[in-house]
A and B are shown apart, each in its own frame.
Chain A
């Protein structure tokens, strides 16, 4: 127990879930009601530091006992602590981190493909594409950083890394908030691109054609109507006369070429795939999967004994 004495920190710092006097009183009352655990020492361990909730009783006891309450992220970690031999064979965490890294890095690759490709698709989608590109810049940056973070976590789960660093990071609010922010940025990029895709589908509906047909190619008349729809979408409230004059001065073409339309739609499809990967990454390890981050606990009892 000397090793525990050397690392515990004073209780005045607000670090445990039992800092409120009422919740601490209820906890200690419950422990006291258990046979053989009256007035025992109680420690709280959050994965990184130990806090003493109640010290040893002043009266001499035959044997000193300590109740240790440890906060864990999930039931898998609890099983690992309870049954270390069996959980050693379980590489669940490693494979979870591996799949998370694969999804994050896959989403990052697609985000970069979208931002590089969207730069060349500006003639068709006009201002919309530029706005989406700005959002995609943020999403690509966020997903690249998420990819880096996933790789770091993956390395930590291997023999060369330090798995405790992952547990500690998970217990830190600033870390979860940063990841949530990165998640939100990459999901926002995905939502924006999905919105742009929806807008394209609606524009195609208005000219009486489907997404699949548009990818194959449209007739001259359909392309002309679609071009007019795109000009109207980029210039809300524009009159017919103004529209014709914009085409006449060459600001917009009379009709977009088939290749331009199908390529712009393909880009939006890629974007949608990127968005779905961002969602999948978030659902595997981010805010969609774990919005509440409800704590789990493992409770252990340590009893001192003398050896002669």
Chain B
């Protein structure tokens, strides 16, 4: 969909002539949010297993919950802002996806070079690596750009003119 068409669509929604139940690209936004939340958990689990396996359960639990808090700050909140028309917040999710990717690669490289013992946790790290790549792909996809622009044009009165 071209920008002019998108602008025409948001203008007609603003005028009350149309109701769009499934905005263009909405599933890319949902996929990005949930995959990043799940990926945070996978990375946290790997981190706990590799570096904190000797610590007590309380510290491990606190780390788990802090990862959910970080997910909220860097994934859920920015995408709720995108839905409010503030598209620049979405960059936080992108940087976060890169951060998770770099972390997964770093640990895997250390593991394969023999500096760390990964065992079965390598499987989770590889899954996490793939999920990070998918998230980056989604962020750069036309569908995500479309949904971001859609809400920007819909929620900002001056943007559609």
* Interface 1/0 per residue, B16-44 and A, CB below 8 Å: 11111111001001100110011011101
B123 within 8 A of A: yes
Residues of chain B contacted by A140 (CB below 8 angstroms): 76, 80
Residues of chain A contacted by B30 (CB below 8 angstroms): 109, 112-113, 116
Q: In the complex the two chains form, is B38's CB within 8 Å of A141's CB?
A: no
Q: In the complex the two chains form, is B61's CB within 8 Å of A172's CB?
A: yes
Residues of chain B contacted by A217 (CB below 8 angstroms): none
B72 within 8 A of A: yes
Q: In the complex the two chains form, is B38's CB within 8 Å of A148's CB?
A: yes
Residues of chain B contacted by A137 (CB below 8 angstroms): 80
CA distance A53 to B123 in the complex (A): 43
Q: In the complex the two chains form, is A105's CB within 8 Å of B21's CB?
A: no
Residues of chain B contacted by A161 (CB below 8 angstroms): 45, 49
Interface window among A78-86, A119-127, A274-282: A119-127
Residues of chain B contacted by A151 (CB below 8 angstroms): 37-38, 41-42
Q: In the complex the two chains form, is B61's CB within 8 Å of A155's CB?
A: no
Residues of chain A contacted by B22 (CB below 8 angstroms): 113, 117
Of A115, A149, A178, which is within 8 A of B83 by CB?
Answer: A115
CA distance A288 to B18 in the complex (A): 40
A48, A152, A169, A267 — most chain B CB neighbours (10 Å)? A152
CA distance A41 to B37 in the complex (A): 47
Q: In the complex the two chains form, is A120's CB within 8 Å of B33's CB?
A: no
Tell me which residues from 84 to 115 in chain B have a Cβ below 8 Å from any Cβ of chain A. none
Chain B proximity of A123: nearest CB distance (Å)? 4
Q: In the complex the two chains form, is B34's CB within 8 Å of A152's CB?
A: no
A98 within 8 A of B: no
Chain A proximity of B52: nearest CB distance (Å)? 10
Q: In the complex the two chains form, is A116's CB within 8 Å of B45's CB?
A: no
CA distance A175 to B76 in the complex (A): 21
Size category of the A interface is 35 or more
Chain B proximity of A227: nearest CB distance (Å)? 11
Residues of chain A contacted by B154 (CB below 8 angstroms): 119-120
* Interface 1/0 per residue, A248-263 and B, CB below 8 Å: 0000010001011001
Known: A119-B154, A148-B38, A253-B16. A155 touches B57 (CB 8 A): no
Q: In the complex the two chains form, is B123's CB within 8 Å of A141's CB?
A: no
Q: In the complex the two chains form, is B57's CB within 8 Å of A144's CB?
A: no
CA distance A212 to B53 in the complex (A): 57
CA distance A155 to B40 in the complex (A): 12
**In the complex, residue of chain B having the shortest beta-carbon distance to the beta carbon of A175:** B61
Of B44, B56, B65, B83, which is within 8 A of A116 by CB?
Answer: B83
**In the complex, residue of chain A having the shortest beta-carbon distance to the beta carbon of B22:** A117
Q: In the complex the two chains form, is A160's CB within 8 Å of B120's CB?
A: yes
A266 within 8 A of B: yes
Residues of chain B contacted by A263 (CB below 8 angstroms): 19-21
* Interface 1/0 per residue, A226-265 and B, CB below 8 Å: 0000000000000000000000000001000101100110
**In the complex, residue of chain B having the shortest beta-carbon distance to the beta carbon of A168:** B57
Q: In the complex the two chains form, is B124's CB within 8 Å of A144's CB?
A: no
Residues of chain B contacted by A159 (CB below 8 angstroms): 120
A108 within 8 A of B: yes
Known: A119-B154, A159-B120. A144 touches B40 (CB 8 A): no
10 interchain pairs (CB within 8 A)?
Answer: A48-B57, A109-B34, A119-B154, A145-B72, A147-B37, A149-B68, A151-B37, A151-B42, A257-B17, A260-B19
- Counting from the closest, the 10 A-B pairs by CB-CB distance are A123-B16, A263-B19, A168-B57, A148-B37, A112-B30, A160-B120, A120-B20, A152-B41, A260-B19, A116-B26
Apart from the given pairs A119-B154, A151-B38, 18 other A-B contacts in the complex at a CB distance below 8 Å: A109-B30, A112-B26, A112-B30, A112-B33, A112-B34, A113-B26, A116-B29, A120-B23, A121-B19, A147-B37, A148-B37, A155-B42, A155-B45, A159-B120, A160-B120, A161-B49, A162-B48, A259-B19
